[in-house]
Amino acid sequence: MNIRAIRGATCLQRDDATEMAEAVTELLLELMSRNAVDTDDLISVLFTSTPDLHSAFPAAAARGVGLADVPLICAQEIDVAGAMEKVVRVMVQVQTSKPRSEIKHVYLRGAEALRQDIAQ
């Protein structure tokens, strides 16, 4: 069994707690589905959000999809001039037998533009 990191991101239309919960839930469920990962495979989850998002913690949405016993943390993304706004990024550490080349990174709701090299 290997430890792998899976990246992902999603964009919000506005700084709204309900939209944050919906977008983060969608992102996590899609990331887990595409990589055949269940909650027992998760080691930890790191969320970042751009400085213009402050209505809710992304980790709160993760708890809503059953990650109550998985270590979660949120941080603020660096405020770079001209960077894409209203973005939540995630890096999930998992135990998996998959080789790195089979990991599917998930970018949704316009976030695909962030990492066209790995977005699937």
Give catalytic residue positions: 7, 63, 74, 77, 89, 107, 115
Which H or E run includes 73? strand 72-76
CA pair distance 28, 58, nearest whole angstrom: 10
Query: Is the alpha carbon torsion for 65, 71, 72, 78 positive or negative?
Result: negative
